[in-house]
Structure 1
Amino acid sequence: MQPTHHPLDRPPVFTGIDPDPHQDSMTIHLGESLTSNVLKQCTQAVRELVALALKDCGGSQAAAEVLLGTYNGRSYPMNLTELCRLDDRYYKAAVTVIHLRCRLNTEPHQLLANGDSIFQKLAQEWEHLRVQH
C-alpha cells in the first residue's frame, strides 16, 4: 500500500497571481523585471491600497499595514492575519505590493506622484501602528 501524502507535505510552488476571468486582474510572476505592464499593475495595486487605507472600513488597517510595512517595515511591522480582512481584489493588490517591494526592489511610494507626501499622510493616519525603537 502506497503511503498517502498530505497536500502540505509538498512545498508550495509560487507561480504568481493567477488571473481572475471576472475582473481586470494582476498577473505578476517571480523573476519579472519592472516592465511597462508590470509597472502599470503595481501602480494600480498601490493606488487601490492607498484608497482603502484612507477609508474607515474593515480592510483599511490591512491595506495600511501592507503599504507602511513595505515603505518602512522596521517602524511599521505587519500582522499577516490582517490580510484575512481583505476581499480577493485587495488581497491580490496586497500580494502585488509585497512582490513589488521584495522581488522588484521598489518601494511603493516611488510609483506615485507625490508618493512621499501620500505615505507621510498614511503614517500620520496610522500612527498607532508605529513601533517605537
Structure 2
Amino acid sequence: MSDSQAPSTRSIAFTVPAHAAEALQETVDDFLAHAAGGTTPAQRAAEIRAQDRDAGLDSLAHLVEVAEGSSGQARVAAQFLAGLYNGDDFPCSLTDFRRLDDDLMEHCIQVLRLDSRHATEVHRYFPNGEVRWQAMIKRWGLADEPAHTPLPDDDVVHSCQDDNKLDAPGYRDVTLFVKVAVGVGDVCSLGLALSAADFERLAADLVAVHRLAWTRGKPLDADEDEPRPAWL
C-alpha cells in the first residue's frame, strides 16, 4: 500500500455563454494536461525565477569573496557591491566596471538580476551583512571617494609640480601636495598622505638619487652654472 497522498483538489464552477463552453473546456483540458507535467507558462516562469535566484545567490557569494580578498579586481567588485548597497553614496563607474574579466562580469549580471527582484537588499542575504559591507567599504576607502571618480591606471606616470605645501602639524606623518594635469588646461592639487616610515624612505631615496647624479660629475639636466647642493 502506497503512503503517498493524493494532492488536494478544489472544485471551480464557471458560468459562460453556451457558444463559449466548448472553447473553455478545451482551454481547461489543455491547462490540466500541462499542469500535470509541470509545464504551464506560469510554472515554467516560476522555475526559471527559482533557478535565477539560486544562480544569483551563488554569484553574490562569489563576488563578496572576491571583494574581501586581495586580487587585482577585488576593489572593483567591492565598488559594485557597495553600489547595490547604496547607489547614491557609492555609485559604481561603468569605466571601472568594464575592467572586470568575463567571469566576474557574468557574476555581476546574475547579481543584478537577483537584485532586480527587490526581494531584499543584497547585504541581508548574509548573517551580519551590514557589518561585512561596512567593513568592505572602509577597507577600500569607498566612503572617502568623490562620486564618479574613476580608478587610476596602474603604473601610469603623471607630470606634476610641487605645490609648496607640507601638512605635518606636530607629527611626522606628512601630506605632500602636488599639482597634476588631469586634462587640457585642467590642473588639480593632489595630496599624497605618507606615514612617517614611508616619508623617511622617500626622503632617503630622493637624496640617494641626487647624490648619485652629482658623484658622476654634473647631472645631465643641471644648468651650466648650477652648484652642487649643500644638503648633499
TM class by shorter-chain length? 0.5 to 0.7
> Counterparts in 2 of 1:39-54, with a 5 A limit?
39-54=53-68
- Find the residue that maps to 2:103 and give its secondary structure: helix
Distance change >3 Å, CA 36–CA 129, structure 1 → 2: same
Residue of structure 1 equivalent to 2:94: 80
Q: Tell me the CA shift for residue 38 of structure 1.
A: 2.7
Q: Tell me the CA shift for residue 111 of structure 1.
A: 1.6
Alignment partners' CA distance in 1, 2:110 and 2:128: 21
Q: 2:117 aligns with which of 104, 120, 127?
A: 104
Residue pair 2:90, 2:143 contacting (<8 A) in 1 also: yes
Alignment partners' CA distance in 2, 1:73 and 1:112: 19
Structure 1 alignment gaps of length 5 or more? 1-30
Residue of structure 2 equivalent to 1:94: 108
> Counterparts in 2 of 1:1-133, with a 5 A limit?
35-101=49-115, 103-105=116-118, 106-130=120-144
Residue pair 2:85, 2:121 contacting (<8 A) in 1 also: yes
Alignment partners' CA distance in 2, 1:130 and 1:77: 12
- Find the residue that maps to 1:55 and give its secondary structure: coil
Q: Tell me the CA shift for residue 119 of structure 1.
A: 1.1
Q: Tell me the CA shift for residue 35 of structure 1.
A: 4.5
- Find the residue that maps to 2:98 and give its secondary structure: helix
Root-mean-square deviation (CA, aligned residues, Å) is 2.7
**Bigger RCO (CA 8 Å, 6+ sep):** 1
Question: Percent of aligned pairs with the same residue?
Answer: 26
- Give the alignment's TM-score, normalised by structure 2: 0.39
Q: Tell me the CA shift for residue 132 of structure 1.
A: 6.8
More helix, by proportion: 1
Alignment partners' CA distance in 2, 1:39 and 1:85: 25
Alignment partners' CA distance in 1, 2:108 and 2:46: 17
The residue type paired with residue 132 of structure 2 is: I
Q: Tell me the CA shift for residue 52 of structure 1.
A: 1.0
The residue type paired with residue 70 of structure 1 is: L
Structure 2 alignment gaps of length 5 or more? 1-44, 148-232
Alignment partners' CA distance in 1, 2:76 and 2:131: 20
Residue pair 2:52, 2:114 contacting (<8 A) in 1 also: no
Alignment partners' CA distance in 1, 2:79 and 2:113: 15
Q: Tell me the CA shift for residue 91 of structure 1.
A: 0.6
- Give the alignment's TM-score, normalised by structure 1: 0.63
Distance change >3 Å, CA 96–CA 129, structure 1 → 2: farther
Q: How many positions carry a matched residue from both structures? A: 102
Alignment partners' CA distance in 2, 1:43 and 1:86: 19
Residue pair 1:71, 1:109 contacting (<8 A) in 2 also: yes
